[in-house]
Structure 1
């Protein structure tokens, strides 16, 4: 089979012509053949489609299964996704940066707070907040390296700068106020601090439990998808109520961190994160319902019984 690879767009420029392509070839094989002719278009940078603005084909799709839908001239349309970078690399720098940015303010350097700031006494809650912050991002780094199994190997390079700006900026913003020599501890004292601390710890354990459950749904080296359900771990019971309990627990963590610190920047970070995670959760919830006809109807996306 002869196959033309055409650039998605109005001019439909031919990027490559592939000869003697086997009908049993998968889309990932086609991408490799394109890469041989166009070295800059490595497979992770390519999105192949039947129509110029159609849905991108999965790498496991065989050519013979879509041959009836191809144009008479046997065309596939290619969208250049731009420079790509590995998910693990992006996540590592997303999470390593906040550790450093926050700890810079925790050590109270003179450049931030003036001479002698490091010798000023810190309230106990400031130390608790630093431990919670560090635990969260160290956990995220370790999960990225040893727990998560990604359905896609890369993401656009631009995301590295966008995501790092968000996480690093908020880390410095929150740290600056929580670690400031003039920081005022929570209004309700020990009660508020203990509620915030306990809630944060439980939420982090819940988030980790969901990540382990999701990991076990996908066998190593595959992109298999299953309906997530509760396991023997009580924290996973939240799967009965929402499609993305990892986001729910993440939101809970930052709500309790805000209670713990009584810090406005932490509240803004929580609100921004909840907004973004809600968008992601709604999208995943829709995909679950489309993909699985027997998907539980009573589940919401992220907030039990509401959303």
Structure 2
């Protein structure tokens, strides 16, 4: 005896006006929200799926692409709400833009172009070797990010609003220009404890960069099958991943460690402030992801903290 197929009637209303935008008849019970987005796109070609926020409640959260109609708390007649998210940009392009900007801007200050420090200092070089080392480390950091974006990262969300990428680029490029101005300034003075301080901070910087890369590879391997579902990350044989024993987002832990090392290396106040700002933002992201893990998985390790072992 064959299973009986249930059909749904789906009405989609505008989130603000509550005006009916379209009515979909005889939708299979196993249809996903992504299928609804594609059907809606046929009625309104200007609202491609990535621009659509489909919700059960006008003020609620967007439903996920993989949510199945029959699993939602609805009857056979379903009312969904649509909100236009605006123009979208793919995450790969987002990160390439965000990371290429600081990489390029730093060189403007490192090579001391005429409009930066004036004609007297134009195209001169710093007598301090740590300035050259700082440029190498800064460039390495963002080049690593670009390589990871192209070859490593697997994104759970396909796009970001265009307005957000403009804001993020201003953030990254503005702060990169701020710290680069002082590190490459003709009056810059190097670390108080000399070569020992610089070498120690360089070693810590490289360790943290290697750790950050290892975590990104481990997280990417969780989605080798193309799935966008959350999975619990666990330590592997790679020692850099053992931080997963203690925190949910060790990639942020290593990132903060790298910038602390860069601060110690350059002994520059703007770099320290940049590190503090970055730590605050990454803590917010880490707490959000940690909270998501706790909601998604009942067996999630209870001893893990969001970003700092045993503390935060």
TM-score for both structures, normalised by structure 2:
0.94
User: 5+ residue gaps in structure 2?
Assistant: 1-7
Q: List per-residue Cα deviations over 1:184-235 (Å, max 9, x = no partner).
A: 1011111111121111111000000000110111124221322111101001
Aligned equivalents of 1:232 and 1:254: distance in 2?
Answer: 26
3-state secondary structure, aligned to 1:20: strand
Post-superposition offset of 1:136: 0.2
Given that 1:105 and 1:112 are in contact with CA atoms closer than 8 Å, whether structure 2 keeps it comes out as yes
Given that 2:9 and 2:25 are in contact with CA atoms closer than 8 Å, whether structure 1 keeps it comes out as yes
Post-superposition offset of 1:87: 0.6
Question: What residue is the counterpart of 1:271 in the other structure?
Answer: 276
Find the partner of 1:173 among 167, 171, 178. 178
Pair 32,234 (structure 1): closer, same or farther in 2 beyond 3 Å:
same
Question: What residue is the counterpart of 1:237 in the other structure?
Answer: 242
Find the partner of 1:222 among 215, 227, 231. 227
Question: What residue is the counterpart of 2:111 in the other structure?
Answer: 107
Aligned equivalents of 2:61 and 2:181: distance in 1?
Answer: 45
Given that 1:122 and 1:181 are in contact with CA atoms closer than 8 Å, whether structure 2 keeps it comes out as no
Q: More displaced, 296-305 or 190-199?
A: 190-199
Given that 2:111 and 2:124 are in contact with CA atoms closer than 8 Å, whether structure 1 keeps it comes out as no
TM-score for both structures, normalised by structure 1:
0.96
3-state secondary structure, aligned to 1:171: helix
Find the partner of 1:4 among 8, 11, 35. 11
Question: What residue is the counterpart of 2:100 in the other structure?
Answer: 96
3-state secondary structure, aligned to 2:22: strand
Q: List per-residue Cα deviations over 1:128-183 (Å, max 9, x = no partner).
A: 10000000000000100110000111011111111100100011111111011111
Aligned equivalents of 2:83 and 2:116: distance in 1?
Answer: 46
How well do the aligned residues superpose, as a CA RMSD in angstroms? Answer: 1.3
Matches of residues 53-202 of structure 1 in structure 2 within 5 Å? Answer: 53-66=59-72, 69-70=74-75, 73-117=77-121, 118-202=123-207
Aligned equivalents of 1:151 and 1:137: distance in 2?
Answer: 22
Question: What residue is the counterpart of 2:20 in the other structure?
Answer: 14
Q: Please tell me whether residue 43 in structure 1 is matched to residue 65 in structure 2.
A: no
Q: Please tell me whether residue 290 in structure 1 is matched to residue 295 in structure 2.
A: yes
Q: Please tell me whether residue 208 in structure 1 is matched to residue 187 in structure 2.
A: no
Q: List per-residue Cα deviations over 1:271-301 (Å, max 9, x = no partner).
A: 1100000000001101101111111111100
Post-superposition offset of 1:120: 4.8
Pair 48,181 (structure 1): closer, same or farther in 2 beyond 3 Å:
same
Q: List per-residue Cα deviations over 1:57-82 (Å, max 9, x = no partner).
A: 2111222222x525x75211112212
Aligned equivalents of 2:311 and 2:103: distance in 1?
Answer: 34
Given that 2:201 and 2:262 are in contact with CA atoms closer than 8 Å, whether structure 1 keeps it comes out as yes
Aligned equivalents of 2:226 and 2:50: distance in 1?
Answer: 16
3-state secondary structure, aligned to 2:119: coil
Aligned equivalents of 1:91 and 1:159: distance in 2?
Answer: 12
Aligned length: 304
